[in-house]
Structure 1
Amino acid sequence: MIEWLALGAVALLGNMFESETKGSASSRRQTSERADEEKWKRKREARLAAWRDSWEKEVDRRRWIPQSVAHRIVEQYPHPDSDGSHLRSSIVKSNALRDLLAEFATHNLQHLAARKAGLKDFFDTVEASPLTEEQTDACICMDDAVQIVAAAGSGKTSTMVAKTGYVLHEGLAKPEEILLLAFNRKAAEELRQRLRERLSGFEGLEKVTVSTFHAFGHNQVLGKTRDVARWVGSPAQEIEMIATIV
């Protein structure tokens, strides 16, 4: 009986020792895996930081950041997570673009709020009546393409005048780099008059190009004017002529 107890004790101690050995080995393996994971994370963070440093110079965070900046970054600066395969690179590029667009959108919202507060007096006085929130947003938003959909008489011309003033005030473009187009001569002349009245304090305002689509196409694209009927561009005369033709 005593011998069996002794053998049982030895077996138990052996199992305990083996269990402790396995547990110790497992613990060391887990510790090693955690260390490898931390090392990999540090290397990846370093690669991401280097990637961001490579294109950060392309981003002017003092201004509105257009969406095209994010697209240009992911095209010109390969993401460090890409492994060379087409599928992997496409997925990484798509995720990077999504993250950059979200990052820049957050920046733009902050920029919008800051400029609205900082230039409140300008937006309240640039036109005869203070601009609405929507008009002010349209002036500050300097994305690649901004579309304003509004009914006649709702203030689209006021927004164009105010946006021109905002661009000049912020130094986003020179007067000769600004082109304002209207559908007919009367609208173009009204736009010129409003610019002279509301933005007279800006130097070089006369260099801003205000034209109809037709005149711009003839003079700038073709390099010469085309002879057209005198009534073209005048809504009243156009209606009269159409009625006469009919």
Structure 2
Amino acid sequence: MEDLLLNLNKEQKKAVTYGKGPLLIIAGAGTGKTKVITHRIAYLISKKFAKPEEILAVTFTEKAANEMEQRVDQLIPYSYSFVEISTFNSFGDKILRNYGHELG
């Protein structure tokens, strides 16, 4: 596995190595958000701060979700399939399909 902090700027490294708890990345187009998020996922798993099945990454488009999956697969090939990466719509749909019956 490549060094996860290689080729990241100071702010990106800070986000990737952020301590415990949720992390929200807000930045403009072309600033490396996807790179930061995928490296953060790999960092959490490689440092054993989280199991792959405990991670949720959501985005707005299917294209972005697919790109995130591909990047995480390159960083951690055997663990990525257990990470939940999806769009907001597909994640909401999954919740309704799995737990909708509990709504009444």
Which structure's relative contact order is higher, taking Cα pairs within 8 Å and 6+ residues apart?
2
Map of 2:61 onto structure 1: 184
Match for 1:155 among 4, 8, 32?
32
Map of 1:134 onto structure 2: 11
Map of 1:122 onto structure 2: 4
Please provide the CA RMSD for this pair: 1.6
Which amino acid in structure 1 is aligned with residue 29 of structure 2?
A: A
* Matching of residues 1-246 of structure 1 within 5 Å: 121-124=3-6, 130-200=7-77, 203-220=78-95, 222-223=96-97
The verdict on how the C-alpha distance between 1:145 and 1:180 changes in structure 2, with shifts beyond 3 A counting, is closer
The structure where helix makes up a greater share of residues is 1
What TM-score results when the alignment is normalised by the length of structure 2?
0.82
Quote the offset at 1:132 in angstroms: 0.7
The structure where strand makes up a greater share of residues is 2
Consecutive unaligned residues of structure 2, counting only runs of 5 or more, are: 99-104
| Partner Cα distance (1:180, 1:191) in 2 | 9
Please state whether the residue corresponding to 1:180 is helix, strand or coil: strand
| Partner Cα distance (1:145, 1:207) in 2 | 18
Quote the offset at 1:176 in angstroms: 0.8
| Partner Cα distance (2:61, 2:4) in 1 | 29
Please state whether the residue corresponding to 1:122 is helix, strand or coil: coil
- Runs (4+) of structure 1 moved beyond 6 Å? none
Quote the offset at 1:165 in angstroms: 0.8
Paired residue total: 96
Please state whether the residue corresponding to 1:151 is helix, strand or coil: coil
| Partner Cα distance (2:28, 2:90) in 1 | 25
The verdict on how the C-alpha distance between 1:136 and 1:170 changes in structure 2, with shifts beyond 3 A counting, is same
User: Percentage identity across aligned positions?
Assistant: 35
